[in-house]
Amino acid sequence: MTIVTQENDLINYAAIKRISVYAGDVDDEEGGKVAQVYSILAFDFDSAFSDDEDNPEDGLQIGVFANESECTLVMNDLIKSIADGKSIFRIPQPSFDTV
């Protein structure tokens, strides 16, 4: 399967070690929290990090969303596409709905 990221990068699913959802903060220039975002990150087999825990900073960002429910829906769609044997999955752009 090929995963097309929000930035239109192509990722070979066969080279991925793990795909996970992470929550993170967006900070302003002074270091104050502006918002929380939810990301889908892929970790490749060639990266040098622990088998016990992946470092989110080493992940390949394939999607960022303003709320957890939208991120979870996209992750579930990705899982379904993998299970269904689809050849391409395009990560949708965020809705920017913060509800």
Evaluate if residue 99 carries a pLDDT over 50. Answer: no
Q: Decide if pLDDT at 48 tops 70.
A: no
- Please state the domain count of the chain: 1
62, with CB counted inside 10 A (0-12, 13-18, 19+), is: buried
- In this prediction, residue 35 carries a pLDDT of 84
Give a yes or no: residue 99 inside a domain. Answer: no
78 in any annotated domain? yes
32 touches 63 (CB < 8 A)? no
In this prediction, residues 2-11 reach a mean pLDDT of 96
The answer to the question of residue 11 being in a domain is yes
Under the phi-then-psi rule, with left for phi > 0, alpha for psi from -120 to 50, and beta for the rest, what region is 31? left
Of 29, 8, 27, 16, nearest to 59 (Cα)? 16
Domain annotation covers residue 97: no
Q: What mean pLDDT is predicted for residues 60-68?
A: 94
pLDDT (0 to 100) of residue 47: 59
Whether the per-residue pLDDT at 28 is higher than 90: the answer is: no
pLDDT at 57: 72
